[in-house]
Amino acid sequence: MSANQSRDGFATKLGVLTATLGSAVGLGNIWKFPYMAGENGGAAFLCIYIAATIVVGLPVMISEIMMGRHAKSNAISTWRKVAPDNKLWTLVGVSGVVAAFAIMAFYTDVVGWVFSFIVMAVSGGLNSTDPKIGEAAFSATVSSPMSALLWQWGVLALVSTIIIGGVTKGIEKTTKTLMPILLGMLILVCIRSLTLPKAGEGLAFLFNPDFSKVTGEVVLMAMGLAFFKLSIGMGTMMTYGSYFRNDADVPFTATRVMLADLTVSILAGVAIFPAVFNYGFEPAAGPGLLFMTVPAVFSSMPLGQFFMVIFFVLTGLATMGAMLSLFEVPVAFFIEALKWNRRKATILTAIGLAICGAPATLSFSTMSDVTLFGLNFFDFYDYLSSNLLLPIGGFFIAIFAGWKWGSDKVERALSNRGTLNNQAIISLYSVIVKWITPLLVLAVLLKGLGFI
Ligand code: PFF
């Protein structure tokens, strides 16, 4: 009991919201969502993604936060507390910590690219309407082993410094400051993009669904993105849930985070697509959209360099909250299970990440020939986490919350011991988490394993 009383946590309701939203918002919104929407029919993908977020993402998010807050523990020990009679559930927590490492390994690499693009954008090195310039800058960034590694280590050092500050003074304070700045910048870029002459074409692409583009593959991809986006299936939300105040309304907070995160994804689309269409660039440019197309698009417009800098800075800011939450998963575990202090847990996690991350970073240079199951390390970490570990985690979390934990416990946890009048919402959540979410997640998983 005394350990729990002295446990760090989010001090304010606003902090609960900004930290959780900070975890959700990141490269998923500004890098993955626009290029996936660009490749898969724009608005049609958006519709499927919204549905996936509601029926798959939200229930798992609520379940994770609920369990974490109940146990007030890290992602592994939470399972020991909620399922004391069967140690196998703990494996779900272990898989989460492995996933956090795998995601951080490639995520910090991409964030390193973003930071180096900020420097290039400021120096004017990306000012060209020819996408080949962005392409060349991108390939120089990723293919120079030492500078790519140094960027990644710089990112790790920055995140470590905030994590060492603790949950309230580090994570909560940082996300409370960054989220409004990020939104302000994003809205500014949206206004610029929307005031371009042919903005309507980009908006039509984003908001006029053409369902002929929707295949089973697209649906499964949208569900996979919902996992990555909402930071679920791997104990991040469980760890953050353990920092939630007892009076926080979990379903309401999760719904607000889901909606706000969706808004950020849509705003990112609004910032990018009208400009892409206005200047006649290709919306389906794939993962290179952010790094190769975007600089050329901004260079084409008046005051382009200014907006390009703002755009890459906001992307960098968006990644901070996500990285903090990923980092906190192993750190919280090491502090509580191995009794390390926060500084030691953070530094050793950072060293571990630098070691695991190096092969991902070097996948574009010295280690490009080294493959695991036919994938280079970068793609392997992404595949392992997004296609396997997150859906596996999500599946078991939904099964546990829906079938194993017990409806009385779920109800007590979600109604804050009967102090909230949210019976209808709890009933709806219970039905979805029991009957719909596990089946859909299973489909994502089977796809990840290549069975469908
Ligand atoms: N949600 C983050 C994004 O969309 O960029 C990525 C992420 C953060 C995934 C934290 C998983 C996680 F635990």
pLDDT tens-digit map of 34-58: 999 998 989 999 999 999 999 999 9
> pLDDT tens, 65-85?
999 999 999 999 999 999 999
CA of 25 to the centre of ligand 1 (A): 7
Q: Using a 6 Å cutoff on CB, does residue 322 contact ligand 1? A: yes
- Any idea where the domains of the chain sit in the sequence? 2-448
Task: Report how far residue 323's alpha carbon sits from residue 156's, in angstroms, rounded to the nearest whole number.
Answer: 9
Quick check: 103 pLDDT over 90?
yes
Task: Decide if the complex's ipTM is over 0.90.
Answer: yes
Task: Report how far residue 132's alpha carbon sits from residue 101's, in angstroms, rounded to the nearest whole number.
Answer: 34
CA of 417 to the centre of ligand 1 (A): 30
Top mutation candidate among 31, 53, 231 for ligand 1, by most atoms within 8 Å of CB: 231
Quick check: 157 pLDDT over 50?
yes
200-204, Cβ contacts within 8 angstroms, sequence gap of 24 or more: 200/274, 201/274, 201/277, 201/278, 202/270, 202/272, 202/273, 202/274, 202/275, 202/276, 202/277, 202/278, 202/283, 203/270, 203/273, 203/274
pLDDT for the residue 41: 86
Q: Which atom of ligand 1 is nearest to the CA of 228?
A: 9
371's enclosing H/E stretch is strand 371-372
Average pLDDT of the segment spanning 355-360: 97
Q: Which atom of ligand 1 is nearest to the CA of 237?
A: 13
**CATH pick for 2-448 out of 3.40.50.2000, 2.40.50.140, 1.20.1740.10, 1.10.10.10:** 1.20.1740.10
Task: Report how far residue 342's alpha carbon sits from residue 346's, in angstroms, rounded to the nearest whole number.
Answer: 6
Per-residue pLDDT band for 217 (boundaries 50, 70, 90) equals: confident
Which residue has a Cα nearest atom 11 of ligand 1?
A: 231
Top mutation candidate among 21, 23, 227, 261 for ligand 1, by most atoms within 8 Å of CB: 23
119-141 burial: b if 16+ Cβ within 10 Å, else e = ebbeeeebbbeebebbbebbeeb
Amino acid at 107: Y
Quick check: 3 pLDDT over 60?
no
Task: Report how far residue 369's alpha carbon sits from residue 326's, in angstroms, rounded to the nearest whole number.
Answer: 28
> pLDDT tens, 396-425?
999 999 999 999 999 999 999 999 999 999
pLDDT for the residue 362: 97
Q: What pTM was estimated for this model as a whole? A: 0.95
Q: Which atom of ligand 1 is nearest to the CA of 319?
A: 5
Average pLDDT of the segment spanning 334-355: 97
Task: Report how far residue 159's alpha carbon sits from residue 114's, in angstroms, rounded to the nearest whole number.
Answer: 15
Quick check: 284 pLDDT over 70?
yes
Which residue has a Cα nearest atom 7 of ligand 1?
A: 231
Q: Using a 6 Å cutoff on CB, does residue 387 contact ligand 1? A: no
CA of 113 to the centre of ligand 1 (A): 17
Could you count the other beta carbons within 10 Å of the beta carbon of residue 187?
A: 14
Instruction: Return mean pLDDT, the chain.
Output: 94
